[in-house]
Amino acid sequence: MKTKNSRTIALAVFLSILVAGLCGCSVVDKFLEEKIFGDEFTDGDSLVSMPGERYLGVWYESEGEQSNELTIIEIGEDTIVFNLTIERLASIDGTARIEGGAIRFTGKDPAGNDLSGTLEFGNNTITLSIDQAEWEYDLVQTLEFTYRKGTESGDSGGTNNYIYDADYSYTVPIDSYTTKSGEEYRVSDIVVPYINIDSGDAVRANAEIKDVFNRAIKLYKEGTNDRQTFVDPCNYISYLGEKSLSVYIVFGVGGTDAVHLEYYVYNFDLGTGRFLEYEEAYQLAGLNADNISGEAEWAIEHYMINVLQFNKQMYIEQNVKRYHDSVADYSIKFFLDGEYNLNLVMSLAIPVGSGEFDAIIKLMPEKEEGEEEIGEASFPE
């Protein structure tokens, strides 16, 4: 909200011209900054302001030069969250705030080394200046990022361009290895998506996905050394509808114990670019607030009895409660498949083994009489 009316500003501008012509000094500029614009646009001592969300995303120095990568993850009212990768030598997670008339940042790499400097946001350009770094090699430098991934001609708006395989850099000692048990694993099998949607939610999703990729590469490297650790699988499936995009990733890690699976699920409204709420998703699937609970409960019970062959009411009730709890605390995982069926991604309580079973349970409002299967017992290849 403006703090001075237009008459005051007009008078101040007139005075600035008059005084500048008489004395040729910079006093007027300081007057305008401190007295008229200071409390509207500044942090108290400068004209620096926080950038808009159009700067969110992955940036490179140019389209052809991608050795240095800057990812602006979040832009809040007073804080910027970012990740900086330099020449594959360092990956720094940082935060930036307005301090002393500039947007100053601090960051650390996984080893705890500190980095600090400034960020400047210009016309389709981000300038990052490093003025202090605790590394053996010299990282003090200025980097200018002018190319944002996903903005090239023809790379947005097409039905096939909302998602594609991410192309993140990595370094591994060998391209494949065989474990002590005789199984072969290839680094090329580690595949994650890049979500090419221009929104803050997509940036946050891509940042999380990149973390999954980096974890997978780290575990792969461990496997090349100990010949026990492995990643299987690390891939994704996506479903593009007229109004939405659903993506789910499975990340499996094995070694001396059974494979542990993690699921990452993302659903986007293609009109707004933001995450789909659960209510919006089940409405797209033809469900509503009156029947969603009953359909979910029926699907869970049907899955337990007909797919897992567990007809124990105690476990059915426990899993139904898990569903309702996840809806209440917004932790529910779901996606819409190619036919706009709603699928729940759940860890089901079962009476044997580890006590839990990861399942994908499909909700089908128009159930045919005698239908026996619903959902899938494991992540599809």
Q: Is 69 helix (H, G, I), strand (E, B) or coil?
A: strand
Is residue 100 left, alpha or beta, with left meaning phi > 0 and alpha meaning psi from -120 to 50? Answer: left
Mean pLDDT of 198-223: 93
How would residue 371 be classed by pLDDT, with cut points 50, 70 and 90?
A: very low
CB 323 within 8 A of CB 361: no
| pLDDT for the residue numbered 136 | 59
Q: What is the pLDDT of residues 54-93, one digit of tens each?
A: 788 888 888 777 778 999 999 888 999 999 988 766 788 9
| pLDDT for the residue numbered 45 | 43
Q: Which of 284, 264, 266, 282 is closest to 274 using CA atoms?
A: 266
Identify the H or E element spanning 362.
Answer: strand 356-363
Strands (E), 87-141: 90-99, 102-108, 114-122, 125-133
Those residues whose C-beta lies under 8 Å from the C-beta of residue 316, and which sit 6 or more positions away, are 300, 301, 304, 305, 310
Q: What is the pLDDT of residues 317-335, one digit of tens each?
A: 999 999 999 999 999 999 9
CB 248 within 8 A of CB 335: yes
Among 27-31, 142-146, 153-157, name the one with the lowest average pLDDT.
Answer: 153-157
CB 68 within 8 A of CB 61: yes
Measured over the CA atoms of residue 212, residue 358, residue 279 and residue 163, the dihedral's sign is: positive
Q: Which long-range contacts (CB under 8 A, 24 or more apart) does 130-138 make?
A: 135/90, 137/89
CB 121 within 8 A of CB 32: no
Name the residue with tokens 């159009």: 54
Mean pLDDT of 10-15: 40
How far apart (Å, rounded) are the C-alpha atoms in residues 149 and 127?
Answer: 16
| pLDDT for the residue numbered 324 | 96
| pLDDT for the residue numbered 103 | 95
> What's the CA dihedral at 266, 267, 271, 274 to 10 degrees?
-50
| pLDDT for the residue numbered 6 | 39
How would residue 234 be classed by pLDDT, with cut points 50, 70 and 90?
A: very high
Rounded alpha-carbon distances, angstroms, from residue 19 to 6, 14, 22, 35, 203: 20, 9, 5, 16, 48
pTM: 0.63
Strands (E), 163-229: 163-165, 176-178, 184-186, 193-195
CB 104 within 8 A of CB 118: yes
Q: Which of 316, 330, 329 is closest to 361 using CA atoms?
A: 316
How would residue 52 be classed by pLDDT, with cut points 50, 70 and 90?
A: confident
How far apart (Å, rounded) are the C-alpha atoms in residues 62 and 306?
Answer: 55
